[in-house]
Amino acid sequence: MAQIISNSIGHDNRHFLSSTAALKAEDLKEHPQLITVSDHIHEHMKGTAIVKIKLFDLKGRVIFSTDQRQIGQQATHSKGFTSARSGKVITKLASGKQYRKLGQNLNRRSLLSSYIPIRQNGPNSPIEGVFELYSDITPLVEEVEAAQRQGIIGVLVILSGLYGILYVIVRRADRILVRQDQARQLAEAQLAEKVEALARSNTELEQFAYVASHDLQEPLRKIEAFGDRLKTKCGDELSERGHEYVDRMQNAASRMRLLIQNLLAFSRVTTKAQPFTPVNLQEVMASILDDLETRIQETGAQVDIAPLPVIDAEPMQIYQLFQNLISNALKFCQPDQPLSIIVASQSLTIAEHNGQVNDAEMCQISVADNGIGFEQKYTDRIFKLFQRLHSRSDYEGTGIGLAVCAKIAEYHGGFITANSTPGEGATFIVTLPVHQIAMETQPS
């Protein structure tokens, strides 16, 4: 629009533009065509948003302005004029200005100023001057600002709504978390009470088992003693069936003694334990092989012991743990195959058991054999009290030995597990800490 008006005005007033070239600045206001040009330009401005027009010659002089006070002023340093003189149309926004339009004062208006080169004979002709037009775009700016305000209000309303929703959600979530925390604390307190009660019950049960087993030994000794007397002093008077009864009684007494001894061993793990001390497992294994020498020779077993570490442990319990494992390997051998037992160890930096990680130096001691083995699904069962996978007629025992091993490993902060395949042997793996954190806090 500004370009069209400038072309029209420039074309109609071409003679005025050329006639001012020789005039001095003070003579421009007295130009005889000034009133005619002013009337002509004001006629073009009617019904438009244009509030002010200036004409510049190429020297930067204002040769016409709807504000006649500016006629003769210099605009050489104006960036808009300089750009238009070089052929570029420049438009910029000016806000908060005061102007006069057709004798009216216009305060605080938003105006769009445009600097347009004047070419008398088409777009490729030389530039003869510069038009500066000011268009009042206040209504448009006010509409934009109103739309912005409405948008901001809308955003604020939406954000307020979202905040309210989030506040309700957070408050509800907070109440749920508080209830969950209270429920968790209550559950933890109840669990702690149950754990404490279970610990007391286990302690009492272990103490009872120890006392009961200890007290049972005296009457058992009498049964065995009277059985021996019957055979030595009354043997001639006993019938064959009587001798059979006495033998069965003494066999039962022997099994009872073994059971009592194993129960005592099981209860002593926590009730009669000694303080932890450095234990050389290599020496422990040598003592076990020495004690089991006769059975090793009877089975023809080949026992290979790899280098074993020194750990903090209760010496007698560690001895008992590995003696039980070696004894089991000797017991459950295959009659038609030479028995091989391999004891090995490896170090671990992190041991994981039942989903819990113990950040301590651990060691794994494995006892592997090529005996009869067992099905893997019975792994958990074999470490429980009185659990047997074979009948007493096939293999002697009480079903307590591996339970004692598991209890000793647990007491030392470790655990025991096993891998096996029927007919191919079994590997028992004992994982124990190398160093105990507090050796002085063992049960008395």
pLDDT digits (tens, 9 = 90+) for 99-145: 555 455 566 677 888 888 888 777 778 888 888 888 888 888 888 88
Contact 6, 129 (CB under 8 A): no
The distance from CA 136 to its chain's CA centroid, rounded to whole angstroms, is: 61
Q: For position 210, what pLDDT does the model report?
A: 63
Quick one: angle between helices 34-45 and 2-12, nearest 10? 150
User: Who wins on pLDDT, 342 or 11?
Assistant: 342
Using CA atoms, how far residue 440 sits from 119, 283, 413, 432, in Å, is 106, 24, 14, 18
Three-class secondary structure of residue 421 per DSSP: strand
pLDDT of 176 over the 90 cut:
yes
Global pTM? 0.46
Using CA atoms, how far residue 240 sits from 62, 108, 247, 251, 439, in Å, is 150, 135, 11, 17, 58
Q: Which 8-state DSSP code applies to residue 202?
A: H
The stretch 415-432 carries a mean pLDDT of 91
Beta bridge partners of 99: 106
Domains of the chain: 2-136 (3.30.450.20), 138-272 (1.10.287.130), 274-433 (3.30.565.10)
The stretch 90-102 carries a mean pLDDT of 64
Using CA atoms, how far residue 31 sits from 10, 20, 27, 68, 398, in Å, is 17, 8, 7, 12, 134
Three-class secondary structure of residue 10 per DSSP: helix
**pLDDT per position as a tens digit, 328-338:** 899 888 888 89
The stretch 267-293 carries a mean pLDDT of 82
